[in-house]
Structure 1
Amino acid sequence: MTTTETLVEPSRKSALQRAVSTIVTSRESAIALVLVLVILAATSQRHSFLFSSDSWRDLLLAPSILLLLAVGQAVVIITRNVDLSVGSTLALTAYLTGRLFVDNPGIPIVVVFLIGIATGAGLGLINGLLVAFGRVPALVITLGTMYIYRGVVLEWAGSNRINASDMPSDFLSLGTKTILTIPVLTIIAVVVLVAVGYYLRTARGGRRLYAIGSDPDAAHLYGLKVRKRVIGAFVLCGALAGLAGVVFAARYGTISSSAGTGIELQAVGAAVIGGVAIFGGSGTVWGAAIGAWLLITINRALPILGVQDFWQKAVVGTLIIGAIVLDRLLSVRRSRKLIEARDES
């Protein structure tokens, strides 16, 4: 073996070892493993949970709406903020979707999607401006807009609801249509996930969101446009909530003012469980997506395993608390290592 080969071979082994180590120790891998174990446990009790065409479709389709919300929520949390209004935004855009079809027969489906996304982005822009320029914690701002947006839907819809018969069959078919056994709505959610994940990982703007979440004051002193980036994160989150509203209408067909009630907490829970640090600055949308899949799958699997409703909610709560505690412990550990490294140098 030549000297060059001798040097290259250990280098390749080292790169492979690092890759394997990263996969084994990552939060995303751990959550994915839990998801697989839950699926296997439910399948062992009921074979049709996984091995039937309808169950396979539902396993992929059910998390699609929460996945969209979790991806947007993850981006906001990475900047050390939170958006509690996504459930109300979903309800407003879902009802808007129904009204567009009722009031404008023959309107192109693509136009409805664009209007829903634009409406959600506008509501997200309001959140972002209030947080960035009002200097009020996002938790307080978005709690307020959550009630305001929900109030708008309640005033607009009242006791009325949009039924499946009010919307075109081509639109409703998106809720059940599959391509190579994969639901169309799942494909839409995965495309969004890949696009946002790629941006956060490779684009300069994406890396700056992490810098802002790690230390907003330092990011400002460094010259980063903190307000602009935070507003952009809220706009993206709102746009994805708007898209989720349109998808909700296609998925369920019936839309009332109560649509999406409580789903904002599931979105936050999915992001946190998936490894997005609630204190900002770390985590990935991939983890948030797996967290969304885990939450939905747990809700479907635990009744099969004979777990009562109370304990189902307790399991989810335990996962969220455990994820936050783990993030805190890891943060303290990193800080201790940095201090030790500085002292040694």
Structure 2
Amino acid sequence: MTVTVEKPAPAPDTERSARSLVDAVFRAREISIAGALVLLVLFTWIAEPRFLNDQGIKDLLLNAAVLVLLAVGQSVVVITRNVDLSVGSVVGLSAFACGKFVSGTDHGVLTVLLLGVLVGAVCGLVSGSLVSGSLVSFGKVPALVVTLGMLYIIQGLDYWWAQGEQINAADVPQSVLDLGSGSVLGLPYLPLISIAVLAGTAYVLRTYRSGRELYAIGSNPEAARLAGVPIRRRVLGAYLFSGAVSGFAGALWLARFGTVVADNAHGWELTVVSAVVVGGVAIVGGTGTVWGAALGALLLTTIGSALAVLKVDSFWADAIAGALLLAAISVDRIVNVRMTRALRKRSAR
């Protein structure tokens, strides 16, 4: 007679302990970034007191608003163990499309924002279909290559459409420009919008099953598949969200600057990825929060503003961003190895 002995399921205390450890790591990373940000601001303020005057704070928040939005959208993709390198070109296309649409008209703000979201969503849908569909599933083409191709396609489309044309602020409805320059209780609209998108995304990722499944895909795609997670649909949804947020950011770009050309946000792809990784979202997927990514975006923006105020060559902003990116990847690797060991020890108990 054959006796089958089932392996006991992990105790609830062990599962709770594992989740507590992961949450503690996330919190420690975000707290460290916030601490570095505070020290940077204090140091710059001591060296140049005008850095924290009313206009300086307002400029800092406005400069960070678009990058925070892009970091939020990118985080959702990176959590699934993928990447979207087309976000900068989507911002450029969306900004120009919105500017072209409202030029010389009296279209309202809501129409402009919806158009931006629509343009970005279409781009995200195409990228997500390629990544989650035949190219990756059957051809095994990395998302990095697919979205790099999308970057050049969207850029080419934007340049072909613009033909060197520039949309000027004088042609943009005043209601749209007021969105980029207006404020409520002293706080500019754009940072408030970014915070609202950030909070909503964080809530969905933490509360809803679809959000938790994104983490499962990034942690172990094969295990997620065996558990019945609809991987293709979730990855497609992540790219669709990233594209929609990028398109929305393009509409806000128009509201912020008024003047747009075909190559707006050119080269922002790597800045966004750097912000996300520096903020604690592991490039290998499965870990991190959008709050950390937003802090990473704010840190990189503050570094650029601080160097400008201190009259330091802007080259150092890129150099520092690159150094932070390498350091973040190294730290992620060390933390992941140690966390895996700790979880195994706790499970063994």
Regarding TM over 0.5, the answer is: yes
Please tell me the residue identity of whatever aligns with 2:129.
L
| Compared CA separation, residues 310 and 107, structure 1 to 2 (3 A) | closer
Say what the alpha-carbon RMSD is for the aligned residues. 1.8
Correspondence for 2:262 among 225, 246, 257: 257
Correspondence for 1:211 among 204, 208, 216: 216
Correspondence for 2:50 among 48, 68, 75: 48
C-alpha deviation, 1:165, in angstroms: 0.8
Q: What does residue range 4-83 of structure 1 map to in structure 2 within 5 Å?
A: 22=24, 26-50=28-52, 52-83=53-84
Distance 2:315 2:269 in 1: 20
Q: Which residue of 2 aligns with 1:129?
A: 129
Q: What does residue range 1-345 of structure 1 map to in structure 2 within 5 Å?
A: 22=24, 26-50=28-52, 52-102=53-103, 105-133=105-133, 134-135=135-136, 136-305=141-310, 307-341=312-346, 344-345=348-349
Distance 1:25 1:130 in 2: 34
Q: Percent identity?
A: 46
| Compared CA separation, residues 282 and 23, structure 1 to 2 (3 A) | closer
C-alpha deviation, 1:314, in angstroms: 1.8
- Secondary structure, counterpart of 2:107 in structure 1: coil
Please tell me the residue identity of whatever aligns with 2:240.
V
Distance 2:207 2:219 in 1: 18
Please tell me the residue identity of whatever aligns with 1:35.
L
Please, which moves more after superposition, 333-342 or 136-145? 333-342
Distance 1:200 1:276 in 2: 13
Please tell me the residue identity of whatever aligns with 2:145.
V
Mark the runs of 5 or more structure 1 residues left unpaired by the alignment: 1-17
C-alpha deviation, 1:159, in angstroms: 1.1
Distance 2:49 2:77 in 1: 39
C-alpha deviation, 1:149, in angstroms: 0.2
C-alpha deviation, 1:305, in angstroms: 3.9
| Compared CA separation, residues 260 and 224, structure 1 to 2 (3 A) | same
Distance 1:114 1:303 in 2: 34
C-alpha deviation, 1:25, in angstroms: 5.5
Distance 1:324 1:100 in 2: 41
Paired residues, number: 324
Please tell me the residue identity of whatever aligns with 1:55.
G
1:84-138 superposed Cα distances (whole Å, 9 cap, x missing partner): 00000000000000111127x2223212211110110111010111001121211
Please tell me the residue identity of whatever aligns with 2:309.
I
Q: Which residue of 1 aligns with 2:14?
A: none
1:18-42 superposed Cα distances (whole Å, 9 cap, x missing partner): 89x9499521111011111111111
- Secondary structure, counterpart of 1:250 in structure 2: helix
C-alpha deviation, 1:158, in angstroms: 1.5
When the two structures are superposed, what TM-score results if normalisation uses the length of structure 1?
0.90
Distance 1:177 1:23 in 2: 38
Distance 1:305 1:323 in 2: 25
When the two structures are superposed, what TM-score results if normalisation uses the length of structure 2?
0.89
Mark the runs of 5 or more structure 2 residues left unpaired by the alignment: 1-19
1:49-87 superposed Cα distances (whole Å, 9 cap, x missing partner): 01x221121121110000110000000000000000000
C-alpha deviation, 1:325, in angstroms: 0.5
